Amino acid sequence: MTDNRKSGSAPTTRESDLLSFWEILARLIQGRTMILVLMLVLGVAGALMALLPKDKYTVDVTFRPEGNTVGGGRITTLASQFGVDLGGEEGTNPPQFYAELVKSRALRLSVASRMFSDGDNSLASLPDLIGVAGSDPDVRLEKTIHWMERNAITVNANIETRIIKVSVETPSAELSRGLAAAVLEEVDLFNSTKRRTQAVAERMFLGERLEESSRELAATEESLKAFLQANRLYKESPELRFEHDRLERAVQMRQQLHTSLYQAMQQAQISEVRNTPVITVLQDAYVPPYPDRRRFVFKLALGIFTGLLLGMALAMLRSAGGSIEENDRVAYEVVVGFWKGVRRGRA
């Protein structure tokens, strides 16, 4: 058998059944028409995906939750001393909590039930603005909630910075701004309602404890008063002096507890009527001045690249009959013939 390495022809033997370099090139050359067609088709598809849809307007709002423990740590500490868990915690809820809150059906239902501006200084319901068909109000609201979940609202929470970002995308700049503002209002409303509910529970608890503390303080003071009336010369007796000191310490402890409960009670009453926001809005809702970028070049390039990969994969899947030696020889001849044709075309 002739030595192909000396004659410059394709190798005739291989130790494995893997495709050789010549076979790979040959199959890509033979499938070049299919590859070009797929690149063209998917490139056009990518371009149409960028051009055909309506303009979209995206509004990003960001906020950071602030301390929302009702009444502060003093109330929680006092309650824990009596074995009562008020359900509050120091600091804030984690960012993931607010991300799930924005995704919750309850919040989106509240947003979907609002009226929004249609851009002509008039108000309309959200189902009407996005074109939800049907006559049943409940069904229309449910479809609107699904639309918000799939197409309109996305949320991301940064654990390190505790910043929550809500993105709203709709075909209308005014509607995007309105939806983003409504989400912020609903989050703040939830926090305010939760805070007031906790404040009411704490005020009731502290009120009961304050009354009980007043009775205990009065009883302890009466005990000290009765002792002093019965033992005017208690300082001359070690036993009486010890009893006096014990009663006096008890009165002081009751007085300190009573003062702390009274201050916590006042704080709870203030928290119950406080209307300050418990989230800091870092970027408020706004009307975007222009639509989102269509990313035409990116989608066109992505379609062409996808067509290239798909065409190459299909070309490689083509079966080739014959022995390994014959496959290599045919592949080599295909590559050489193609290259000669290219050179003649240039000439």
80 with 24, same domain: the answer is no
Report the CATH number that the domain containing residue 273 is assigned in CATH.
3.30.1890
116 with 182, same domain: the answer is yes
For residue 346, tell me if it sits in a domain.
no
CB-based burial label for 26 (10 Å; 0-12, 13-18, 19+): buried
Q: With 80 as the cut, is the pLDDT of residue 111 above it?
A: yes
> Which H/E stretch holds residue 48?
helix 32-51
C-alpha–C-alpha distance, residues 193 and 58, integer Å: 29
For residue 36, tell me if it sits in a domain.
yes
Mean pLDDT of 152-167: 91
pLDDT at 5: 42
For residue 325, tell me if it sits in a domain.
no
109 with 171, same domain: the answer is yes
pLDDT at 14: 44
pLDDT at 60: 92
Q: With 60 as the cut, is the pLDDT of residue 18 above it?
A: no
| pLDDT band at 145; cut points 50, 70, 90 | very high
Structural domain total, the chain: 2
Cα distance from N-terminal residue to C-terminal residue, the chain: 36
259 with 168, same domain: the answer is yes
Greater model confidence, 99 or 198? 99
For residue 329, tell me if it sits in a domain.
no
Q: Of 184, 178, 111, 119, nearest to 149 (Cα)?
A: 111
Q: Which domain holds residue 259?
A: 57-283
Mean pLDDT of 69-92: 48
Residue 119 near residue 235 (C-beta atoms within 8 A): no
For residue 272, tell me if it sits in a domain.
yes
Strands, DSSP E only, in the chain? 57-65, 115-117, 123-125, 153-158, 163-170, 279-283
Q: With 60 as the cut, is the pLDDT of residue 140 above it?
A: yes
C-alpha–C-alpha distance, residues 56 and 127, integer Å: 18
C-alpha–C-alpha distance, residues 2 and 150, integer Å: 67
pLDDT tens track for 275-324: 566 788 888 888 887 776 767 777 778 888 888 888 888 877 765 444 44
